[in-house]
């Protein structure tokens, strides 16, 4: 049977998802994704050309709330979980 997704594509998708896969993981991922994607083909037996798509279980529109200024979380509390910070900002490796 034709592969739904090749190893090269898996590598590309991993890059999009910001994941690094080892050789072995990549091989396994390709096999399992093929298995699952082949199963998904089942959906093609349904004609959905006139069916609207559904993104939410409950139809909600224009959920508004008053635009009030409320206290936000304390900076110190938020930075407490930072892997690296200088007490004012999150620190990350050099970008530019």
Q: Which residues bind another protein (CB under 8 A)?
A: 5, 9-10, 13-14, 16-21, 25, 29, 32-33, 35-37, 39-40, 42-44, 46, 48, 51-58, 60, 63, 65, 73-74, 77-78, 80-84, 90, 92-95
In degrees and rounded to multiples of 5, residue 21 shows phi and psi of: -110, 140
Residue 44 Cβ vs another protein, minimum distance, rounded to whole Å: 7
Answer whether 52's CB lies under 8 Å from 24's CB.
Answer: no
- With 0-12 CB in 10 A as exposed, 13-18 as middle and 19+ as buried, what is 36? exposed
Cβ closest to another protein, residue 69 vs residue 77: 77
Contacts for 11 with CB less than 8 Å, ≥ 6 apart: 21, 26
Cβ closest to another protein, residue 2 vs residue 94: 94
Residue 84 Cβ vs another protein, minimum distance, rounded to whole Å: 7
């Amino acid at each position: 049977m034709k592969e739904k997704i090749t190893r090269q594509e898996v590598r590309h998708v991993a890059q999009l998802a910001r994941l690094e896969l080892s050789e072995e993981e990549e091989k396994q991922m390709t096999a399992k994704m093929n298995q699952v994607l082949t199963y998904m083909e089942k959906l093609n037996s349904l004609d959905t050309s006139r069916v609207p798509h559904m993104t939410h279980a409950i139809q909600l529109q224009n959920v508004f709330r008053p635009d009030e200024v409320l206290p936000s979380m304390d900076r110190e509390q938020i930075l407490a979980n930072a892997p690296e910070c200088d007490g004012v900002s999150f620190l990350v490796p050099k970008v530019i």
